Amino acid sequence: MKILKLIFITIFCTIFTIANAASLDAMIGQMVLVGFQGKDLNSKSAQALVKDVKAGKVGGVLFLGHNVGSKKQVLSLTNAIQSASSNKILITIDQEGGRVRRIKEADGAPFLASAKQMTQVNQQLAHEKYYDTAFYLNSIGFNVNFGPVVDLEINKNNPVIAKLNRSYGANPLVVSQYAYMFVNAHRQANMLTALKHFPGHGSSAKDSHKGFVNISKTWQAIELDPYKQLIIWDAADMVMAAHVFLDKMSDDGKVPTSLSHKAITGVLRGELKFKGVVVSDDMAMGAITRNFTSKVAIIKSINAGTDLVMMSFNKDKVGSLGAWVHGVIKHAVANGQIKQQTIVNAYNRIQILKAKLP
Protein backbone atom coordinates (compact mmCIF):
# COMPACT_ATOMS: atom_id res chain seq x y z
CA MET A 1 0.00 0.00 0.00
CA LYS A 2 2.86 2.38 0.85
CA ILE A 3 4.48 1.67 -2.54
CA LEU A 4 1.23 2.41 -4.39
CA LYS A 5 0.80 5.62 -2.43
CA LEU A 6 4.37 6.66 -3.27
CA ILE A 7 3.80 5.94 -6.98
CA PHE A 8 0.61 8.01 -6.96
CA ILE A 9 2.33 10.94 -5.25
CA THR A 10 5.24 10.76 -7.72
CA ILE A 11 2.91 10.79 -10.76
CA PHE A 12 0.86 13.65 -9.30
CA CYS A 13 3.94 15.72 -8.53
CA THR A 14 5.35 15.11 -11.99
CA ILE A 15 2.15 16.25 -13.69
CA PHE A 16 1.87 19.25 -11.35
CA THR A 17 5.47 20.25 -12.11
CA ILE A 18 4.94 19.92 -15.88
CA ALA A 19 1.79 22.05 -15.79
CA ASN A 20 3.47 24.73 -13.73
CA ALA A 21 6.53 24.74 -15.98
CA ALA A 22 4.39 25.46 -19.04
CA SER A 23 3.07 28.93 -19.71
CA LEU A 24 -0.63 29.60 -20.15
CA ASP A 25 -0.01 30.23 -23.86
CA ALA A 26 1.71 26.85 -24.22
CA MET A 27 -1.04 25.01 -22.36
CA ILE A 28 -3.74 26.57 -24.54
CA GLY A 29 -1.76 25.70 -27.65
CA GLN A 30 -1.90 22.02 -26.74
CA MET A 31 -5.72 22.22 -26.84
CA VAL A 32 -5.89 23.53 -30.42
CA LEU A 33 -6.36 21.04 -33.27
CA VAL A 34 -6.93 22.60 -36.69
CA GLY A 35 -7.13 21.81 -40.37
CA PHE A 36 -5.51 23.61 -43.27
CA GLN A 37 -5.82 24.10 -47.02
CA GLY A 38 -3.47 22.73 -49.67
CA LYS A 39 -1.30 19.68 -50.22
CA ASP A 40 2.16 21.16 -49.76
CA LEU A 41 4.12 23.88 -48.05
CA ASN A 42 3.61 26.23 -50.98
CA SER A 43 0.08 27.01 -49.78
CA LYS A 44 -0.31 30.04 -47.50
CA SER A 45 -2.54 28.00 -45.19
CA ALA A 46 0.11 25.29 -44.68
CA GLN A 47 2.79 27.91 -44.12
CA ALA A 48 0.62 29.63 -41.51
CA LEU A 49 -0.03 26.29 -39.83
CA VAL A 50 3.68 25.46 -39.55
CA LYS A 51 4.28 28.94 -38.16
CA ASP A 52 1.58 28.43 -35.52
CA VAL A 53 2.98 25.03 -34.59
CA LYS A 54 6.43 26.56 -34.19
CA ALA A 55 4.99 29.33 -32.01
CA GLY A 56 3.27 26.78 -29.75
CA LYS A 57 -0.24 27.89 -30.70
CA VAL A 58 -1.27 24.52 -32.18
CA GLY A 59 -0.92 21.05 -30.64
CA GLY A 60 -2.76 19.00 -33.25
CA VAL A 61 -3.35 19.01 -37.01
CA LEU A 62 -6.24 17.53 -39.00
CA PHE A 63 -5.69 16.11 -42.47
CA LEU A 64 -8.71 15.87 -44.76
CA GLY A 65 -9.00 14.48 -48.27
CA HIS A 66 -7.99 17.77 -49.88
CA ASN A 67 -4.65 17.61 -48.03
CA VAL A 68 -3.74 14.17 -49.33
CA GLY A 69 -1.80 13.24 -52.45
CA SER A 70 1.11 10.88 -52.92
CA LYS A 71 2.89 9.11 -50.06
CA LYS A 72 5.95 11.33 -50.62
CA GLN A 73 3.82 14.48 -50.54
CA VAL A 74 2.02 13.54 -47.31
CA LEU A 75 5.26 12.55 -45.60
CA SER A 76 6.92 15.85 -46.50
CA LEU A 77 4.01 17.71 -44.89
CA THR A 78 3.82 15.60 -41.74
CA ASN A 79 7.60 15.85 -41.30
CA ALA A 80 7.51 19.62 -41.68
CA ILE A 81 4.70 19.94 -39.15
CA GLN A 82 6.30 17.63 -36.58
CA SER A 83 9.76 19.12 -36.92
CA ALA A 84 8.40 22.64 -36.39
CA SER A 85 7.74 21.83 -32.74
CA SER A 86 9.87 20.63 -29.85
CA ASN A 87 6.72 18.93 -28.52
CA LYS A 88 4.85 16.00 -29.99
CA ILE A 89 2.14 17.15 -32.40
CA LEU A 90 -0.99 15.08 -32.85
CA ILE A 91 -1.19 14.53 -36.61
CA THR A 92 -4.67 13.19 -37.21
CA ILE A 93 -6.81 11.72 -39.96
CA ASP A 94 -10.13 9.88 -40.48
CA GLN A 95 -9.31 6.47 -41.93
CA GLU A 96 -12.19 4.40 -40.55
CA GLY A 97 -12.60 2.20 -43.62
CA GLY A 98 -15.29 1.96 -46.26
CA ARG A 99 -16.72 5.33 -47.30
CA VAL A 100 -14.68 7.24 -44.74
CA ARG A 101 -11.11 6.94 -46.01
CA ARG A 102 -9.14 10.15 -46.55
CA ILE A 103 -6.32 8.21 -48.23
CA LYS A 104 -7.38 5.93 -51.07
CA GLU A 105 -5.59 2.92 -52.53
CA ALA A 106 -4.54 5.00 -55.55
CA ASP A 107 -2.45 7.11 -53.16
CA GLY A 108 -0.82 4.05 -51.58
CA ALA A 109 -3.07 3.16 -48.64
CA PRO A 110 -4.09 -0.46 -47.99
CA PHE A 111 -7.74 -1.14 -48.75
CA LEU A 112 -9.82 -1.03 -45.58
CA ALA A 113 -13.39 -2.33 -45.50
CA SER A 114 -16.21 -0.55 -43.67
CA ALA A 115 -17.11 -1.47 -40.09
CA LYS A 116 -20.22 -3.28 -41.33
CA GLN A 117 -18.18 -5.32 -43.81
CA MET A 118 -15.51 -6.04 -41.21
CA THR A 119 -17.99 -7.94 -39.03
CA GLN A 120 -18.23 -10.52 -41.84
CA VAL A 121 -14.70 -11.70 -40.99
CA ASN A 122 -13.38 -13.01 -37.67
CA GLN A 123 -11.89 -10.63 -35.16
CA GLN A 124 -8.31 -11.77 -35.70
CA LEU A 125 -8.48 -11.03 -39.41
CA ALA A 126 -10.10 -7.69 -38.63
CA HIS A 127 -7.18 -6.94 -36.32
CA GLU A 128 -4.70 -7.76 -39.10
CA LYS A 129 -6.47 -5.47 -41.56
CA TYR A 130 -6.56 -2.65 -39.03
CA TYR A 131 -2.89 -3.13 -38.26
CA ASP A 132 -1.99 -2.88 -41.96
CA THR A 133 -3.76 0.48 -42.16
CA ALA A 134 -2.36 1.75 -38.86
CA PHE A 135 1.19 0.75 -39.83
CA TYR A 136 0.83 2.56 -43.17
CA LEU A 137 -0.56 5.71 -41.55
CA ASN A 138 2.26 5.77 -39.03
CA SER A 139 4.84 5.26 -41.79
CA ILE A 140 3.76 8.52 -43.42
CA GLY A 141 3.74 10.56 -40.23
CA PHE A 142 0.32 10.14 -38.64
CA ASN A 143 -0.11 9.26 -34.98
CA VAL A 144 -3.90 9.53 -34.56
CA ASN A 145 -6.68 7.82 -36.51
CA PHE A 146 -10.12 9.15 -35.58
CA GLY A 147 -11.91 5.85 -35.10
CA PRO A 148 -13.38 3.45 -34.28
CA VAL A 149 -17.05 4.31 -34.66
CA VAL A 150 -18.89 2.72 -31.73
CA ASP A 151 -22.36 3.99 -32.66
CA LEU A 152 -25.00 1.27 -32.55
CA GLU A 153 -26.95 0.64 -35.75
CA ILE A 154 -30.32 1.45 -34.18
CA ASN A 155 -31.84 3.39 -37.07
CA LYS A 156 -31.27 1.44 -40.29
CA ASN A 157 -32.09 4.58 -42.29
CA ASN A 158 -29.58 6.77 -40.46
CA PRO A 159 -27.98 8.81 -43.29
CA VAL A 160 -24.58 9.31 -41.67
CA ILE A 161 -24.00 5.99 -39.83
CA ALA A 162 -26.09 3.00 -41.01
CA LYS A 163 -26.46 4.12 -44.63
CA LEU A 164 -22.67 4.51 -44.87
CA ASN A 165 -21.99 1.13 -43.19
CA ARG A 166 -20.01 2.86 -40.44
CA SER A 167 -21.43 0.79 -37.56
CA TYR A 168 -20.39 -2.69 -36.43
CA GLY A 169 -24.06 -3.42 -35.74
CA ALA A 170 -26.74 -3.15 -33.09
CA ASN A 171 -25.21 -5.54 -30.55
CA PRO A 172 -23.10 -3.54 -28.07
CA LEU A 173 -20.80 -6.48 -27.27
CA VAL A 174 -20.02 -7.12 -30.96
CA VAL A 175 -19.43 -3.40 -31.49
CA SER A 176 -17.10 -3.32 -28.48
CA GLN A 177 -15.15 -6.39 -29.58
CA TYR A 178 -14.48 -5.17 -33.13
CA ALA A 179 -13.75 -1.66 -31.88
CA TYR A 180 -11.19 -3.19 -29.51
CA MET A 181 -9.49 -4.86 -32.49
CA PHE A 182 -9.28 -1.44 -34.15
CA VAL A 183 -7.80 0.22 -31.05
CA ASN A 184 -5.37 -2.57 -30.22
CA ALA A 185 -4.07 -2.84 -33.78
CA HIS A 186 -3.42 0.89 -33.90
CA ARG A 187 -1.63 0.85 -30.56
CA GLN A 188 0.68 -1.88 -31.85
CA ALA A 189 1.54 0.46 -34.72
CA ASN A 190 2.19 3.42 -32.34
CA MET A 191 -1.10 5.10 -33.24
CA LEU A 192 -3.73 6.65 -30.97
CA THR A 193 -7.48 6.40 -31.57
CA ALA A 194 -10.76 8.07 -30.57
CA LEU A 195 -14.06 6.35 -29.81
CA LYS A 196 -16.90 8.18 -31.55
CA HIS A 197 -19.51 9.67 -31.54
CA PHE A 198 -20.44 10.11 -27.85
CA PRO A 199 -23.15 9.66 -26.57
CA GLY A 200 -24.26 7.85 -29.73
CA HIS A 201 -25.19 8.93 -33.26
CA GLY A 202 -26.68 5.62 -34.34
CA SER A 203 -30.33 6.40 -33.64
CA SER A 204 -30.39 9.78 -35.38
CA ALA A 205 -32.48 10.51 -38.46
CA LYS A 206 -30.30 13.37 -39.67
CA ASP A 207 -26.65 14.25 -40.31
CA SER A 208 -24.98 16.63 -37.83
CA HIS A 209 -22.60 17.75 -40.60
CA LYS A 210 -25.56 19.55 -42.13
CA GLY A 211 -27.43 21.00 -39.16
CA PHE A 212 -29.25 20.51 -35.87
CA VAL A 213 -29.88 16.86 -34.97
CA ASN A 214 -32.26 16.00 -32.12
CA ILE A 215 -31.97 12.42 -30.81
CA SER A 216 -34.07 12.96 -27.67
CA LYS A 217 -36.89 10.66 -28.82
CA THR A 218 -34.72 7.99 -30.45
CA TRP A 219 -31.62 7.70 -28.25
CA GLN A 220 -31.37 4.65 -25.98
CA ALA A 221 -29.23 4.17 -22.87
CA ILE A 222 -27.76 1.02 -24.47
CA GLU A 223 -25.81 3.35 -26.78
CA LEU A 224 -23.46 4.04 -23.87
CA ASP A 225 -22.57 0.36 -23.47
CA PRO A 226 -19.62 0.30 -25.91
CA TYR A 227 -18.07 3.25 -24.08
CA LYS A 228 -18.55 1.53 -20.72
CA GLN A 229 -16.99 -1.69 -21.99
CA LEU A 230 -14.03 -0.11 -23.81
CA ILE A 231 -13.23 2.14 -20.85
CA ILE A 232 -13.20 -0.94 -18.61
CA TRP A 233 -10.91 -2.67 -21.14
CA ASP A 234 -8.59 0.36 -21.06
CA ALA A 235 -9.18 0.82 -24.79
CA ALA A 236 -10.17 4.50 -24.85
CA ASP A 237 -7.30 6.86 -25.72
CA MET A 238 -9.76 9.60 -26.59
CA VAL A 239 -13.51 10.02 -26.89
CA MET A 240 -15.01 12.27 -29.54
CA ALA A 241 -18.11 14.22 -28.53
CA ALA A 242 -20.90 14.43 -31.10
CA HIS A 243 -22.83 17.55 -32.08
CA VAL A 244 -26.20 15.91 -31.36
CA PHE A 245 -28.92 17.26 -29.07
CA LEU A 246 -30.15 15.00 -26.28
CA ASP A 247 -32.50 16.75 -23.87
CA LYS A 248 -31.50 14.71 -20.81
CA MET A 249 -27.82 15.60 -21.39
CA SER A 250 -28.28 19.26 -22.27
CA ASP A 251 -27.28 21.92 -19.76
CA ASP A 252 -30.00 24.37 -20.74
CA GLY A 253 -32.22 22.50 -23.18
CA LYS A 254 -30.46 24.18 -26.09
CA VAL A 255 -26.86 22.98 -26.36
CA PRO A 256 -25.78 19.71 -28.01
CA THR A 257 -23.83 17.13 -26.00
CA SER A 258 -20.52 18.41 -27.39
CA LEU A 259 -21.11 21.73 -25.60
CA SER A 260 -22.78 20.32 -22.50
CA HIS A 261 -21.14 20.00 -19.08
CA LYS A 262 -23.91 17.60 -18.08
CA ALA A 263 -22.96 15.25 -20.94
CA ILE A 264 -19.15 15.37 -20.94
CA THR A 265 -18.28 16.02 -17.31
CA GLY A 266 -21.42 14.56 -15.77
CA VAL A 267 -21.99 11.41 -17.83
CA LEU A 268 -18.74 10.62 -19.66
CA ARG A 269 -16.32 11.56 -16.90
CA GLY A 270 -18.63 11.10 -13.92
CA GLU A 271 -20.84 8.09 -14.64
CA LEU A 272 -18.58 6.26 -17.12
CA LYS A 273 -15.35 7.13 -15.26
CA PHE A 274 -13.47 8.22 -18.39
CA LYS A 275 -10.24 9.97 -17.38
CA GLY A 276 -8.70 10.50 -20.82
CA VAL A 277 -8.83 13.17 -23.48
CA VAL A 278 -12.13 14.40 -24.90
CA VAL A 279 -11.90 15.77 -28.43
CA SER A 280 -14.70 17.71 -30.05
CA ASP A 281 -16.08 16.72 -33.40
CA ASP A 282 -15.29 19.33 -36.05
CA MET A 283 -16.52 22.76 -34.94
CA ALA A 284 -17.02 23.63 -38.61
CA MET A 285 -19.98 21.24 -38.89
CA GLY A 286 -23.43 22.61 -39.60
CA ALA A 287 -24.88 21.54 -36.23
CA ILE A 288 -22.56 24.13 -34.67
CA THR A 289 -22.13 26.86 -37.28
CA ARG A 290 -25.88 27.21 -37.92
CA ASN A 291 -26.73 27.57 -34.24
CA PHE A 292 -23.75 29.17 -32.48
CA THR A 293 -20.91 31.53 -33.22
CA SER A 294 -17.56 29.77 -33.32
CA LYS A 295 -16.34 31.71 -30.30
CA VAL A 296 -19.34 30.74 -28.19
CA ALA A 297 -19.05 27.08 -29.27
CA ILE A 298 -15.34 26.89 -28.41
CA ILE A 299 -15.85 28.39 -24.96
CA LYS A 300 -18.86 26.20 -24.18
CA SER A 301 -17.08 23.04 -25.32
CA ILE A 302 -14.07 23.70 -23.08
CA ASN A 303 -16.25 24.52 -20.08
CA ALA A 304 -18.18 21.32 -20.78
CA GLY A 305 -14.98 19.30 -20.34
CA THR A 306 -13.48 19.13 -23.84
CA ASP A 307 -9.68 19.01 -23.96
CA LEU A 308 -8.97 19.21 -27.69
CA VAL A 309 -10.96 21.67 -29.79
CA MET A 310 -11.04 20.55 -33.42
CA MET A 311 -11.82 22.98 -36.23
CA SER A 312 -11.13 22.23 -39.88
CA PHE A 313 -11.82 25.77 -41.12
CA ASN A 314 -13.58 29.01 -40.24
CA LYS A 315 -14.59 31.47 -42.94
CA ASP A 316 -14.98 34.31 -40.43
CA LYS A 317 -11.52 34.13 -38.88
CA VAL A 318 -8.98 36.87 -39.23
CA GLY A 319 -5.44 35.57 -39.87
CA SER A 320 -4.38 31.94 -39.47
CA LEU A 321 -6.87 29.45 -38.05
CA GLY A 322 -4.62 28.07 -35.30
CA ALA A 323 -3.69 31.49 -33.96
CA TRP A 324 -7.35 32.53 -34.12
CA VAL A 325 -8.63 29.56 -32.07
CA HIS A 326 -5.75 30.04 -29.62
CA GLY A 327 -6.69 33.71 -29.28
CA VAL A 328 -10.34 32.90 -28.62
CA ILE A 329 -9.40 30.59 -25.74
CA LYS A 330 -6.76 32.95 -24.33
CA HIS A 331 -9.16 35.90 -24.35
CA ALA A 332 -11.86 33.80 -22.67
CA VAL A 333 -9.45 32.91 -19.85
CA ALA A 334 -8.38 36.55 -19.48
CA ASN A 335 -11.97 37.78 -19.09
CA GLY A 336 -13.03 34.97 -16.77
CA GLN A 337 -15.18 32.97 -19.18
CA ILE A 338 -12.89 29.95 -18.78
CA LYS A 339 -11.09 29.17 -15.52
CA GLN A 340 -7.33 28.74 -15.77
CA GLN A 341 -7.59 25.48 -13.83
CA THR A 342 -9.77 24.13 -16.65
CA ILE A 343 -6.88 24.78 -19.05
CA VAL A 344 -4.39 23.13 -16.67
CA ASN A 345 -6.60 20.04 -16.35
CA ALA A 346 -6.95 19.71 -20.12
CA TYR A 347 -3.22 20.25 -20.64
CA ASN A 348 -2.35 17.53 -18.13
CA ARG A 349 -4.66 15.01 -19.79
CA ILE A 350 -3.20 15.82 -23.21
CA GLN A 351 0.36 15.38 -21.94
CA ILE A 352 -0.53 11.98 -20.46
CA LEU A 353 -2.00 11.01 -23.83
CA LYS A 354 1.03 12.18 -25.80
CA ALA A 355 3.32 10.28 -23.44
CA LYS A 356 1.89 7.09 -24.97
CA LEU A 357 3.54 7.96 -28.27
CA PRO A 358 7.15 6.86 -28.93
Predicted confidence at residue 206, as pLDDT, reads 82
Return the pLDDT at 21: 57
Per the domain annotation, does 66 fall within a domain? Answer: yes
What is residue 315's predicted lDDT score, i.e. its pLDDT? 76
Residues 41 and 34: their CA atoms lie apart, in Å, by: 16
The single-letter code of the amino acid at 312 is S
Question: Is 197 marked active-site?
Answer: no
Q: Which long-range contacts (CB under 8 A, 24 or more apart) does 139-142 make?
A: 140/71, 140/74, 140/75, 140/78, 140/108, 141/74, 141/75, 141/77, 141/78, 141/79, 141/81, 141/82, 141/91, 142/63, 142/78, 142/91, 142/92, 142/93, 142/191
Q: What is the SS3 assignment for 196? A: strand
pLDDT at position 110 is 97
313 lies in a domain? yes
Please give the Cα distance from 322 to 55 (Å, whole number). 10
pLDDT of residue 33: 98
Residue 180 CB partners (closer than 8 Å, separation 6+) = 230, 233, 235
Whole-angstrom distance, CA of residue 312 vs CA of residue 351: 22
How high is the pLDDT of residue 4? 43
Residue 16 covered by a domain: no
What is the number of domains present in the chain? Answer: 1
Instruction: State pTM to two decimals.
Output: 0.92
Domain limits for position 81:
24-354
Half-sphere exposure of 112 toward its Cβ, with a 13 Å CA cutoff? 30
pLDDT in the model for residue 204: 94
Q: Quote the pLDDT of residue 306.
A: 98
In a domain, 2, yes or no: no
Query: Residues in the chain with pLDDT < 50?
Result: 1-19
pLDDT of residue 358: 93
| Single-letter amino acid code for the residue at 289 | T
CATH number of the domain where residue 299 is located: 3.20.20.300
Catalytic residue among 94, 225, 237, 281: 281
Specify if 19 maps to a domain. no
| Catalytic site includes residue 281 | yes
Is position 12 within any domain?
Answer: no
